[in-house]
Amino acid sequence: MQCSYYLQNDLEVGASVSSSSVNRGSCILAHSALMGCFYIYYQFEVYVVSFDYRFKKSAMSSLPRFGQMVVGPPGSGKSTYCKAMKEFLTTMGRKVEIINMDPANDELPYECKVNISDLITVSDVMESLTLGPNGGLMYCMEYIETNLDWLISAISKLSSDTYILIDCPGQVELYTHHKSVRNILDYMTHKLDYRLAAVHLVDSHYCTESSKFISVLLTSLSTMLQIEMPHINILSKVDLIEHYGKLDFNIDFYTDVLDLHQLIDTFEEQSGFMSKFKKLNEKIVEVVENYGLVTFIPLTVKDEGTMGNVMTHIDKANGYIYGKAEDDAIRQMYSAGTGFEWDKIATVVAVPNQPLNLFGSTLHLFNIDCNCSSQTSTLSPTCLLLDIML
């Protein structure tokens, strides 16, 4: 097979080609990996193109920064998640740094390169302005918004390929009503082209009572609509759920957010205060179901399987493109994996002589000459983990 192509806008590429015999259709589909591989499916054959990127300086400076904004109620495990996710992504070959955006968090379980407490703390605000904890935190977030250049300058000192984890405060009203966090994120995503995904952690103990779970659903939906970002809801600490009490339904009911009216039926078994609000909860459930946006991913930070599943969903949400070192690590980690589903993997349809967009550059595939014989090797499951948004 001979495959010729080029990239415009100061991005040069070289490639070597190998093939394998997996029948996937008579068109060209492409999976791309930064410093990694490009999978071309052409005339019922799979071709794996190994890229050797040679970036010019101007092209490197224009690459977007990827990361996660970690939010959730107090005690949901945000800081623990950031520490565990950094360790997990580091083993995958990513360069990762944590950014502490919580001015009330003075006992960090991780080492961070950017700490908002160097700019302002809730304790100082409470002492100087005679405010309570919530009022002090609101003031801090408004102060950060006003002095956003300090935060951006601190982040810009990190290398452009550094993946960032932003550990945010736990007060729910910051993401459902207050506008400072939303304005900060709008500037990062629209002005600076940060590719961030909101990761909303919810403690799994809320599943033990129907009323608590309904409140979590409403909070999650409100947060999704308020901050307007790619959003992943996570049910954390699922390994401890048995210690919280017996569930009315299987865990899949809560993660997939199935027929919520079954939750309402459990109110009939309850007496006293909560049974009086059955009609109110029915209306809340209708709102959540009408939007159809809220689902949860179960997570145990000590389990690599659930961490990998969460990572894949987040990468699909913010469009992260894997690096070569990470591709090798994932191949080793999932070499024995089975049950991958093609319909859950993002693909890109490409046609010879038609352009694809890659990092703001235009990729042209042309002069496709498929004369080589098929080999007996099979396609690595690794390519199924490449969630690409070109």
Check whether residue 22 and residue 73 sit in a common domain. no
Check whether residue 166 and residue 42 sit in a common domain. no
Residue 86 lies in a domain: yes
Check whether residue 136 and residue 279 sit in a common domain. yes
Q: Per the structure block, which two tokens stand in for 28?
A: 């060209």
Q: Per the structure block, which two tokens stand in for 366?
A: 């042309």
Structural domain tally of the chain?
Answer: 2
Q: What is the pLDDT of residue 275?
A: 63
Q: Per the structure block, which two tokens stand in for 144?
A: 């950060």
Q: List the chain pLDDT tens, one digit each, 390 residues.
A: 333 333 333 333 333 334 443 333 323 333 333 334 444 444 444 444 443 333 333 333 457 899 999 999 998 999 999 999 999 999 988 999 999 999 999 889 999 999 999 999 999 999 999 999 999 999 999 999 999 999 999 999 999 889 999 999 999 999 988 999 999 999 999 999 999 999 999 999 888 888 889 899 999 999 999 998 999 999 999 988 877 777 888 888 888 887 888 888 776 665 556 667 778 888 888 899 888 889 999 999 999 999 999 999 999 999 886 554 555 565 555 554 444 343 333 333 333 444 444 434 444 433 333 333 333 223 232 222 222 222
Q: What is the pLDDT of residue 9?
A: 32
Q: DSSP character for 91? A: H
Q: Which of 272, 287, 318 is the last residue of a domain?
A: 318
Residue 302 lies in a domain: yes
Q: What is the pLDDT of residue 356?
A: 44
Q: Per the structure block, which two tokens stand in for 34?
A: 């930064």
Residue 78 lies in a domain: yes
Q: What is the pLDDT of residue 327?
A: 55
Q: What is the pLDDT of residue 242?
A: 77
Check whether residue 246 and residue 370 sit in a common domain. no
Q: What is the pLDDT of residue 106?
A: 85
CATH number for position 125? 3.40.50.300
User: What Å distances lie between residue 344 and 83, 334, 386, CA to CA?
Assistant: 28, 17, 11
Q: What is the pLDDT of residue 357?
A: 44
Q: Which of 289, 318, 347 is the last residue of a domain?
A: 318
pTM of the model as a whole: 0.68
One-letter amino acid of 354 = Q
Residue 151 lies in a domain: yes
Check whether residue 154 and residue 299 sit in a common domain. yes
Check whether residue 208 and residue 194 sit in a common domain. yes
Check whether residue 126 and residue 193 sit in a common domain. yes
Check whether residue 31 and residue 69 sit in a common domain. no
User: What Å distances lie between residue 175 and 169, 313, 316, CA to CA?
Assistant: 10, 21, 23
Nearest by Cα to 334 from 315, 354, 311: 311
Q: What is the pLDDT of residue 367?
A: 31
Residue 174 lies in a domain: yes
Q: What is the pLDDT of residue 69?
A: 96
Q: Are 167 and 104 in contact (CB under 8 A)?
A: no
Q: Are 327 and 382 in contact (CB under 8 A)?
A: yes
Q: What is the pLDDT of residue 168?
A: 95
Check whether residue 101 and residue 189 sit in a common domain. yes
Q: What is the pLDDT of residue 100?
A: 96
Domain membership of residue 49 as a residue range: 2-59+323-385
Residue 308 lies in a domain: yes
Residue 390 lies in a domain: no
Check whether residue 222 and residue 371 sit in a common domain. no
Q: Which of 272, 290, 318 is the last residue of a domain?
A: 318
Check whether residue 173 and residue 286 sit in a common domain. yes
Check whether residue 130 and residue 34 sit in a common domain. no
Residue 359 lies in a domain: yes
Q: Are 126 and 136 in contact (CB under 8 A)?
A: yes
3-class SS of residue 163: strand
